[in-house]
């Protein structure tokens, strides 16, 4: 036996879940993803999302509506006569008519330990807040923002210098088997749902441009978490002075260094250790504007940094 499913997702993170459900033998009648976006050097080519590309390879129909609020879209979704819909980082809100159309409802794979970090950027926010643990949760969706009852969960540790990209990769590994297990239990009528507690709820709002600029007057501990939490995308940044001019540099990884600050913005040019408002921070990976990402040692072979801003 198998379930009749629709899959709704957009980034590379969602692809292993789609592929695992297909491999498990479920009938995936449609894949929903964000519309193709301009790409290429001139932005003239429309590129399908990673999920859309994966679905096409599997021979599954791909739908890319800009919204699900339209009545015709809701009727089309209802016409699939689904057992369930699977949502993993889709990027569109699901109206009540969509949530209620499948026989068993819609199930979301969410990258946090709910009710902590409901919302758009749970991976980045967990690191930026200094959380020691996070995980994946499978929940049945309701009309709230990640407020539905939880079916399954699995937690992982967040290492001290882990970046959002590294955590993303670790969560990606556990998302697919967890969703396959949830659908197996759903098919067998054995998927227990536990209501979320309201206590301890936090919201992972979208990352804003204002948050990406590094202010060296802040404590080193806070800045280290910000740099790692925003790496590799969208990336935190500062201006560095070398070769007699200022240039914008993306900061991709950093670690705390023992010792007190000698003054905000003071730089040790041999190690790229930067003195902050409190404490010191060593930049270990970075990317010059227009260049490639590189380790600090390689960067320092070509550039002598005299000041940061």
Residue ranges of domains in the chain: 4-203, 209-308
Is 113 within any annotated ligand binding site? yes
Is 115 within any annotated ligand binding site? yes
Q: Report the top-level CATH class of 4-203.
A: alpha beta
Is the distance from CB of 17 to CB of 176 less than 8 angstroms?
yes
H-type alpha helices, 193-295:
220-229
User: Which CA distances in Å does 93 have to 67, 87, 136, 156, 297?
Assistant: 8, 10, 20, 28, 44
Is 260 within any annotated ligand binding site? no
Res. 173: pLDDT tops 90 = yes
Task: Choose among 125, 179, 128, 134: nearest CA to 156.
Answer: 134
Is the distance from CB of 11 to CB of 49 less than 8 angstroms?
yes
- Domain 209-308 CATH (choose: 3.10.25.10, 3.30.70.1170, 3.90.1170.50, 3.40.1640.10): 3.10.25.10
86 - beta bridge partners?
7, 107
Predicted TM-score (pTM) of the model is 0.92
Is 153 within any annotated ligand binding site? no
Is the distance from CB of 52 to CB of 36 less than 8 angstroms?
yes
H-type alpha helices, the chain:
15-23, 50-57, 71-79, 96-100, 122-128, 164-187, 220-229, 296-302
Residue-averaged pLDDT of the chain: 95
Provide the terminal-to-terminal Cα distance of the chain, rounded to the nearest Å.
61
From CA 281, how far away is CA 289, in angstroms rounded?
Answer: 21
From CA 284, how far away is CA 292, in angstroms rounded?
Answer: 14
What lies within 8 Å, CB to CB, of 70 at 6+ separation is none
Is the distance from CB of 229 to CB of 127 less than 8 angstroms?
yes
Q: Express each pLDDT in 111-146 by its tens digit.
A: 999 999 999 999 999 999 999 999 999 999 999 999
Q: What is the mean pLDDT of residues 37-49?
A: 76
Q: What is the mean pLDDT of residues 284-309?
A: 93
88 - beta bridge partners?
9
Is the distance from CB of 177 to CB of 94 less than 8 angstroms?
no
Res. 1: pLDDT tops 90 = no
């Amino acid at each position: 036996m198998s379930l009749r499913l629709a899959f709704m997702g957009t980034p590379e993170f969602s692809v292993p879940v789609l592929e695992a459900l297909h491999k498990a033998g479920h009938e995936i009648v449609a894949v929903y993803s964000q519309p193709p976006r301009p790409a290429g050097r001139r932005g003239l080519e429309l590129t399908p999302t990673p999920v859309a590309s994966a679905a096409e390879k599997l021979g599954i129909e791909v739908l890319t509506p800009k919204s699900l609020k339209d009545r015709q879209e809701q009727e089309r979704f209802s016409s699939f006569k689904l057992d369930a819909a699977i949502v993993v980082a889709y990027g569109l809100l699901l109206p009540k008519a969509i949530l209620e159309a499948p026989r068993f409802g819609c199930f979301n794979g969410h990258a946090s330990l709910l009710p902590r970090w409901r919302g758009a950027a749970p991976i980045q926010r967990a690191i930026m807040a200094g959380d020691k643990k996070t995980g994946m949760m499978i929940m049945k969706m309701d009309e709230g923002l990640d407020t539905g009852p939880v079916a399954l969960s699995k937690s992982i540790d967040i290492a001290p210098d882990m970046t959002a990209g590294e955590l993303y990769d670790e969560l990606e590994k556990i998302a697919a088997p967890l969703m396959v297990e949830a659908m197996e239990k759903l098919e067998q009528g054995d998927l227990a749902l536990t209501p979320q507690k309201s206590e301890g709820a936090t919201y992972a709002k979208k990352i804003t441009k204002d948050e990406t600029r590094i202010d060296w007057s802040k404590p080193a501990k806070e800045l280290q978490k910000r740099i790692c939490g925003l790496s590799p995308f969208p990336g935190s940044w500062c201006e560095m002075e070398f070769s007699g001019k200022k240039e914008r540099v993306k900061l991709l990884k950093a670690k705390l260094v023992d010792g007190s600050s000698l003054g905000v913005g003071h730089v040790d040019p041999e190690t790229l250790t930067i003195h902050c408002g409190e404490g010191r921070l060593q930049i270990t990976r970075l990317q010059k504007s227009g260049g490639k990402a590189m380790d600090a040692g390689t960067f320092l072979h070509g550039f002598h940094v005299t000041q940061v801003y």
